[in-house]
Structures are given as structure tokens and as C-alpha cells.
Structure 1
Amino acid sequence: MNFLKKLVRKEDPKVYLDKDAHLQKVLGVKDFLALGVGTIVSTAIFTLPGVVAASHAGPAVAISFLVAAIVAGLVAFAYAEMASAMPFAGSAYSWINVIFGEFFGWIAGWALLAEYFIAVAFVASGISANLRGLLAPLGFSLPTFLASPLGSKGGFVDIIAAVSILIISALLSRGASTAAKAQNILVLLKVLVILLFIAVGATAIHFSNYVPFIPKYRIVNGAPFGGWQGIYAGVSMIFLSYIGFDSIAANSAEAKDPKKTMPRGILGSLLIAVVLFVSVSLVLVGMFKYTAYTNNAEPVGWALRHSGHGVIAAIVQSVAIVGMFTALIGMMLAGSRLIYSFGRDGMLPKWLGKLNKRKLPSHAQTTLTVVGIVVGAFFPFSVLSQLVSAGTLIAFMFVSLGIYALRRREGKDIAQPAFKMPLYPVMPLLAFIGALAVFWGLDIEAKVYALGWFIFGLVIYFSYGIRHSYLNKKQPAEKAAVEKTNVQEDVE
């Protein structure tokens, strides 16, 4: 087989169904809704509305969240059809491997791997910062070298971030069903707290704070503020909040009746998240003028305290910290399944694709835990975090265009899905254009670091993956079978 043919060789979907059949089918619609909401509605809902309002959009931050949700929704429809037709572990990596070929599957999967590695570290660091902030007034504080990552504020290791990742890893080692039960309870608590903020905050709204709803466009500190330019800048910044629905698709191999549960989980969790994000944004900018949230790391708690609701602020922040663990569960559950998929296919060392006695990808989980701790506990990721949006948007573009190739094979070698993306063939194109537009709006640093990550991925693929892929073993076997058949025919 020549080099170019190796790049586009496609995996048989039946092979993935057979390999992933060993994973336990224990997750239902409510589990995926909790997984999606818990991952999407994470730290960002307590910080981003205020940050984006102050730096880019003003009161129109709600429009930024809505536009970002529309783009995410278009992609989510593509994800829903893909997951319904191909309920494989690894989501976009496995789908693109089947549809476009091994090399493109690796690119999509490598993009998502950046999301999970860094997102796990990001959420763990968020838990650490918020917990330390909550305990500081009570007189509890850690030594500087244990409170911050290496090279940041005199720190050496963020010990709380490391312990947080270890706790969730231990929980996931008990199985997806156990993690789902904990996730369901924590998500319910988090949603109730968000609704509490909306209800209490609504009583402190001053409608004058909404005027003008879209401030006049100008450049502030080198960045666009106001007008549609500010709203667009806000969309690119906000989009990171919505990418969590990929965590649902990554676990589709463990779904009960995936043809129905996957679309309901993906689209349902995104809809709930949109309503919560837009509501929090409108209440927050209505309570105080958006300029009050400049450089404010905790706008929700600050707004409650300064409107005379100190007790409610303490409750919201306390439960918010607990609720952040839901995002950690979702990211680690999905990330371990992606790493398992790489090992399953021989693209990374095959022991990563092994299941333990409980039918869990324990080696993949351990790898994600170690990398997450190293990144989250030892490295400041103010720049690395930009890789999350950039990498995921690239995967989203692949999946959106993949619908066209998928439709030609549905009902043939790929099962007919119970859900199909509406308004075909227009909507897949709109999803691709939307993801491309958001990617284009990212700052130059995000694109540069994404390029560096992909160059690193190409080095691994061409030095290891392409040579150790299980398709290398499959092709000679198929060739031998064909030659045997031809010999038999000649004899006859």
C-alpha cells in the first residue's frame, strides 16, 4: 500500500462496534443530560458573563451567548446524527476515521485531546482558586509554594488542583454508572443554585443598566468593545463554554439505546445550558452597570454581596465550587474514552486501549490523570487554555462536513440513525461556516499555539501511529484472503 492510501484508509464501523461492545451500556438520557449540563455549565457561568460584558459587549453579552449557542447548536445537530449512527467511544476521532480515513481521524482526535488535557487542568485550577478564596476570610490559607503552579506568584505546585483530579479519578475508577449518580446529584444542586441567583438577582435589577444595550463601538485596551464587533469578540471568547457536549458523544459506546439517548442528551443539555447562560447574563448586567465587572474574578458573588445578599452569595459560591466537580467528571470521563480509542486502534501504545476486569479503560484514565495533574498543578495555563477552543473548533468543522459523507453510507455499511440533522444539505454547511467564523475570531496566540500542538501531533502520527495502526495488520490479512479466493477461483 502506498503512502497516500495509508492516510485515507478507513476503519470498518463493525470493527468499532465489536471492540466497544466490551464497555458496559449503563448510561441513559438523564445521565447524559447531567453529564452535558455539568460539563457545559461549569466555572464559566459564574465568571464569563461579567468578564465579557466588561471587556467586549456591555449589556449585549446576552446576544454574544445567544449567537455562540446558535453556532454550537448547529454543530450539536451534526454530533447528534453522528452519535446516533455510530455510537463509538472517542466521538469525532472514531467517526472521522470511519468516514474520511485514519489521518483525518487522527487530526480531529488530536484536536480534542488538547481540549481534554487542558480543560481538566483548567477546571481543577478553578476549583482550587475558588476554594482558597472562600476559605481565606475564615483564616485558612496554604503556603505560597502549595497554592500556585510553578512559576506563578512564587508557587511550586497547586496542591488543591492535584487532589481534585485524584478524587475524580478515584470516583471514575468505580465505573461510569457510579460517576453518573454523583454527577446527577451535583448537577441538580448547581442548577438550583443558578436558579436561586436568577430569582434573587432579578429583584435587584435596574433597567437603566441596560441602556444602551449595544454600546457604541470603540477600541479599549487594544480590543474591540461595543457594536457588533464587540459582540463578535464576545462570541469567540464565550464559545469555550458550549463545547462540553462533545463529552456526551465521547461516551456513546456506554449508552443504553444510543440511537435515541445520544441526540436527546446532546441537544437537551445544550438547550438547558443556553437558557441558564442567557438568563444569568441578563440578570448580572441588570444588577450593576457592566463597567463594575472590570477585572472582577467573581462577578456573581460580588453582585449578590453588593446588593445586600451576603448569605445568598456565600451559598451560591459554596455550591458553585462543588458544582465545578461536575465539569471535571465530564471532561475526565470523555478524555479517558478518547485516549482509550487511540490505544484501541494502535495509534498510541496499545495498553491504553486495554480494559480492566471491571470493563473500564483504567490505563487511559491513569494517563489522563497524570497529565492533568502535571498541567494543572505545575504549569500556568493562561496561554495554553486558548488551545481548548481552537482545537475543538477544528474537530467541529470536521464533524459538520462529515455529515455529507455519512449520508451516502447510512443504511449501507453504517446503520440508519434514529435522528438526522434537519435542513440537509444546508445546515451542515452552516455549521461548518459558523465554527470557522468563531475560529477566525480567536486571537493570534490561540492559532499559533494550536499550530504548534498539531505539528507535535503530526510528529507522533508519522513516527508511531501510522506504523502501529491496527489497520496495518488488517490490510495484509484482507489481501491474503482475496488472493486465496482468486486461487480457488482459478482452480475451479
Structure 2
Amino acid sequence: MSSLTEKMFRKEDPLVYQDKDSHLIRSLTTKDFLALGVGTIVSTSIFTLPGVVAAQHAGPAVALSFLAAAIVAGIVAFAYAEMAAAMPFAGSAYSWINVVFGEFWGWIAGWALLAEYFIAVAFVASGLSANFQGLISPLGFDLPKALSTASTGNNGGLMDLVAIIVIILVTTLLSRGASQTARVENTLVILKVIAILVFIFVGATAIKSANYTPFIPKYHVNADGSAFGGWQGIYAGVSEIFLAYIGFDSIAANSAEAKNPQKTMPRGILGSLVIAVILFISVALVLVGMFKYSDYANNAEPVGWALRQSGHALVATVVQAIAVVGMFTALIGMMLAGSRLIYSFGRDGLLPKWLGKLDNNLPNRALIVLTIIAIALGAFFPFTFLAQLISAGTLIAFMFVSLGVYALRPREGKDIPMPSFKMPLYPVLPALGFLGALGIFWGLDIQAKTYALGWFILGMIIYFAYGMNHSTATLDKMAEHEKD
């Protein structure tokens, strides 16, 4: 038993990760991380979720749902910034928790994040497909239902061909390296932010104040048992849209490829979140002001629809075209981070070691595995099915990182370098970050929590059957005993 617990709770030496990740090229700057963060956070969600959540849960108060989610995300982002500055390793929360709490807890946090990346890539690809189809449909181009409707959940759909194609395109780009990818990302993010600003300014001219009344609709229970209106509806909205803010983890996952990570990581994480919050709340307020919130029910591309319905067909086409191209930025960010996480598992032997091998200093083997699984999810599962499942895994990792600050502080300046950024209002803020993430997790629907439990059980089976016994930390320890 003591041997079992020793393996589970053995903490990785940070110098080991520093050595293992030394082959990754440090080429990313603050500008690259801001683009990566904004590109990932301001993704499919900003063009889809404000309308969907307003119709299903919160009404015009969807803006308050975004604000509440942003406050929790902001607190956790402080913890991420300190962790990333102190330990700029590939794998973000997985590697950090492995160092401060031990291998087993690191695996749980990493396994939860892995679910996020698998599903998030599929979700973004599905949303991109929905907007692309909304763009080409008025031009007379309609894909056969069997090849186009998995992302929206309509009957008769077989697979989402567009989602498959875009995932493959992004994989091809990423296989050429982070620095080349960053140049594409930076350009696309600028275009996407311009498209969002155009929507905000043009959409604002079509706002009708009556659509904001009542701002917080009266509470009732939807047919599916979920909440609508009142604080209950706002809370349900927070749980559903929290996935919109998960992108800053994708910045942290690439910290092993950062130039001067002590400065670039906090600036990239916190800066991108501030920009994203402003854009999200602005889009939500404009969208629910243009039309009655109920008009956005079951609409996977509400931004383009609202512009077309308000007489701005040309603007809708331009904005939606840029938005579709811009959604590539979110796929780039998620797939970049997800492949680094899978690489980290292989690097440490918790998954087959060939996943931790580099090809031309790039984790392309891990990237291929991520691509195959994301295609299966994005092509064959409905858009609405994927939304809440992303949040579950992310929130579990956020809870670990918030608590991890308590274990990190006593080691800073000793075996872990003193970071240039520290989470403010310590020790209160880490606890608030943990409680906020727990509260949002509690608000997820039963299906999301059930699938999260199933994913957790699968992860436990893999860890105890394979990972624990093949861990490089365990094998190194065994080799030391044999020498003695």
C-alpha cells in the first residue's frame, strides 16, 4: 500500500520538466500570446452563445451571465498567471499540479483538461461549420443534409464535412511549427476583432430599447427542466457560457515555447482575458437589443442572422465571412494547447511514450491523435451536445490550479523560481477562485456532470492500469533502487 501511495503522490522535480521541455523552441512573444488568447477565447462562442443562452436561460440578462463568468475566470486567471510565470512548462495545469501536489493529482487535472481540448476543438469546428453554411446558403450553395447537419443536431445528419476539413487544415498548419502558426494567428485575430467591432457599431443602430424589457425576465422552468429568468436563469447561463473563457489555459499550455515567460505569460493571460470580456459583454448587449431574445432560439449563427434581419445583408456577409476565417484562430489555439498536453502525458510515460517524442522539435505525434479524436467528435455529435461538456473538464482543472497556489507559495524562491507576478489578495483570492469554479460546476446540467464522471472513471482506469506503472518518475525510482 505504501508503494502505491508513494507512486501516486510523488511530486515531480521542476528541474526535470525544465530539462525535458528544453528541446521545444522558445519563440513566442507577448504579442503572440495576446493573439493566441484573444483568438481562442473570442471564438465560436461570441458568435453563437449570447443568442442561444439569452433564448434558453437569461433573456437580456445574458450580459450579466457573461459578467459573472468573467469575474470567476478573472480570479482563476490570476492563479494561472502566477503558476505559468513560476513554472513555464508544457501541459499547464497537468505539469504544475504534478509538481506541487503529486503525479496522481496532476493526472486528474490533466485528464480533465484533455476532455476540454477534445470537445472544444470539435465544438469550435462545429460552430465554424454552422456559420459557414449560413454564409453560403443565401448564395444558393447548400450542402446535402447528410454532410452538413451534425453540428446543429437536426434529424437526417450523418457527419459535418466542413468540420472535418477545417480540423485537417489547422493540423497541417500546426505541424509546421509554433512561430509560423503565430504569424497566421496574429493576422486572423486582427481581422476577427475588426469583424466584431463592425457588428457592435452597425448592430447598435438597430437596437430597440423595448427588447431590454424586462431585463431580467420572470423565473420559470423550461420544458427540459432547466431554469429561465430570475437569478436562476442567470446562473444557468453562467454554467453554459463559461466555456467562452477557457482560452487562457491554451496560453499557459504553450509556456514552454515562450520567450521570457516571467513577463510574457502573465501579460498574455490577463491581457487577453480583459479584451475578451469587453467584447463578449458588448456583443451580448447589442444582440439582445436588436431582436427579442426568444428569436434566437435554436440559432447557431445569431450574429449573421440578426444583421440580415435588420436590413444589413452586405454587412452580415462581410462580418460572417471574416468570422468564419477568424474561427480558425480558436482552432489553432485549442489544437496547439491540446497537442502540448498530450505530449506532456507521453513525456512523463502516463500515456505511451511515443506521444512524447518530438519530430523536428514539434509534438506532431500528439497532434495527430488530437486530430483523429476531435474529428470523430466534431463530425458526428451535435453542436448543442458539445457545449456544456467543455466547461466540466475546465472547471475541475481551474479548481486544482486555484488550490495549487497554496502549495506553490512556500516553494517560491527555493526549488521553484520566484515569479515576477503573484496572485493578489493572497490567501483569500485562491479560495474564491476555487469556490467560484465549484459553484459554476455545480450549475452544469446533470448530463454534463454525468459525462464528466464517466470521463473521470475512464481516466482512473487508465492511470492505475497503465500510467502509474509506466510513469518515468516510477521507472527512474526503480532504476535507482536497482543500482543500490
Q: Are residues 1:111 and 2:112 paired?
A: yes
Q: What are the superposed Cα offsets for residues 320-348 of structure 1, whole Å, 9 maximum, x if unpaired?
A: 11111111000100000000000000001
In the alignment, which residue of structure 1 is the partner of 2:469? 467
Q: What are the superposed Cα offsets for residues 196-221 of structure 1, whole Å, 9 maximum, x if unpaired?
A: 01111112222232222222222233
2:272 corresponds to which of 263, 269, 273:
269
Q: What are the superposed Cα offsets for residues 124-168 of structure 1, whole Å, 9 maximum, x if unpaired?
A: 122222222222222223334333449963344322211111110
In the alignment, which residue of structure 1 is the partner of 2:421? 419
**In structure 1, distance between residues paired with 2:268 and 2:471:** 32
In the alignment, which residue of structure 2 is the partner of 1:240? 243
1:344 corresponds to which of 344, 347, 350:
347
In the alignment, which residue of structure 2 is the partner of 1:30? 31
Matching residue's letter, 1:273: A
Bigger mean CA offset, 305-314 vs 175-184? 305-314
Matching residue's letter, 1:180: A
**In structure 2, distance between residues paired with 1:306 and 1:128:** 21
In the alignment, which residue of structure 1 is the partner of 2:217? 215
Q: Does structure 1 retain, via aligned residues, the 8 Å contact 2:131–2:300?
A: no
Written as runs of structure 1 = structure 2, the 5 A alignment for 1:331-480 is 331-357=334-360, 359-380=361-382, 382-479=384-481
Secondary structure of residue in 1 paired with 2:206: coil
1:283 corresponds to which of 273, 282, 286:
286
1:313 corresponds to which of 311, 316, 319:
316
Q: How many equivalent residue pairs?
A: 481
C-alpha displacement of 1:383 = 3.3
Written as runs of structure 1 = structure 2, the 5 A alignment for 1:8-407 is 8-149=9-150, 153-221=155-223, 222-357=225-360, 359-380=361-382, 382-407=384-409
C-alpha displacement of 1:380 = 3.9
* Change beyond 3 A, Cα 1:294–1:369: closer
Root-mean-square deviation (CA), in Å? 1.6
* Change beyond 3 A, Cα 1:436–1:468: same
Matching residue's letter, 1:457: G
Bigger mean CA offset, 203-212 vs 252-261? 203-212
In the alignment, which residue of structure 2 is the partner of 1:490? none
* Change beyond 3 A, Cα 1:63–1:152: closer
**Identity over aligned residues, as a percent?**
71
**In structure 1, distance between residues paired with 2:429 and 2:369:** 37
Q: Does structure 1 retain, via aligned residues, the 8 Å contact 2:119–2:377?
A: yes
Secondary structure of residue in 2 paired with 1:375: helix
Bigger mean CA offset, 6-15 vs 118-127? 118-127
Q: What are the superposed Cα offsets for residues 158-185 of structure 1, whole Å, 9 maximum, x if unpaired?
A: 2221111111011011100111111111
C-alpha displacement of 1:471 = 0.7
Secondary structure of residue in 2 paired with 1:408: helix
* Change beyond 3 A, Cα 1:97–1:252: same
**In structure 2, distance between residues paired with 1:29 and 1:425:** 28
Matching residue's letter, 1:349: P
* Change beyond 3 A, Cα 1:21–1:189: same
**In structure 2, distance between residues paired with 1:330 and 1:268:** 16
**In structure 2, distance between residues paired with 1:262 and 1:426:** 23
Q: Does structure 2 retain, via aligned residues, the 8 Å contact 1:148–1:377?
A: no
Q: Does structure 1 retain, via aligned residues, the 8 Å contact 2:150–2:383?
A: no
**In structure 1, distance between residues paired with 2:158 and 2:205:** 44
Q: What are the superposed Cα offsets for residues 397-455 of structure 1, whole Å, 9 maximum, x if unpaired?
A: 00000000000110111110000000000000000000000000001111110000111
C-alpha displacement of 1:27 = 0.4
Q: What are the superposed Cα offsets for residues 360-380 of structure 1, whole Å, 9 maximum, x if unpaired?
A: 011111111111122222344
* Change beyond 3 A, Cα 1:33–1:279: same
Matching residue's letter, 2:394: T
* Change beyond 3 A, Cα 1:296–1:141: closer
* Change beyond 3 A, Cα 1:307–1:149: closer
Matching residue's letter, 1:60: A
Q: Does structure 2 retain, via aligned residues, the 8 Å contact 1:384–1:449?
A: no
**In structure 1, distance between residues paired with 2:266 and 2:459:** 31
Matching residue's letter, 2:332: I
Written as runs of structure 1 = structure 2, the 5 A alignment for 1:474-489 is 474-479=476-481
Matching residue's letter, 1:344: R
Larger radius of gyration: 1
Bigger mean CA offset, 242-251 vs 57-66? 57-66
Unaligned runs of 5+ in 2: none
**In structure 1, distance between residues paired with 2:194 and 2:134:** 22
**In structure 1, distance between residues paired with 2:382 and 2:464:** 30
**In structure 1, distance between residues paired with 2:296 and 2:171:** 35
Q: Does structure 1 retain, via aligned residues, the 8 Å contact 2:39–2:333?
A: yes
Query: TM-score normalised to the size of structure 2?
Result: 0.96
Secondary structure of residue in 1 paired with 2:300: coil
C-alpha displacement of 1:381 = 6.0
Unaligned runs of 5+ in 1: 484-492
